[in-house]
Amino acid sequence: MLLAVQGYFEAGRFITDAPIQIPEGRKTIITVLDEKIDTEKEKEQYIAYWNNIIEDIKNSDELLEGEPDRMRFKTPEGIQTL
């Protein structure tokens, strides 16, 4: 099994972008990229991205009909069984 997790180091600890559970005794490899994360810049880009989506939705004249399909995401445990 291979699982990629993004995050950053802060105060000597690895902080993931999303919660994750790694089973005890698993061999892990951490790759450190030689780039510093600009969290303020990243936050601004994230906000601008979603503002564009919201603006596109507001400007859309498409008529929505029916119920949307439900999405189901696999848990880390479910991914391991694949």
3-state secondary structure of 20: coil
Q: Residue 39: pLDDT band by 50, 70, 90 thresholds?
A: confident
Does residue 52 surpass a pLDDT of 70? yes
Does residue 45 surpass a pLDDT of 70? yes
Distances (CA, A) of 10 to 13, 15, 21, 35, 77: 5, 7, 19, 14, 27
Q: Is the pTM value of this prediction over 0.85?
A: no
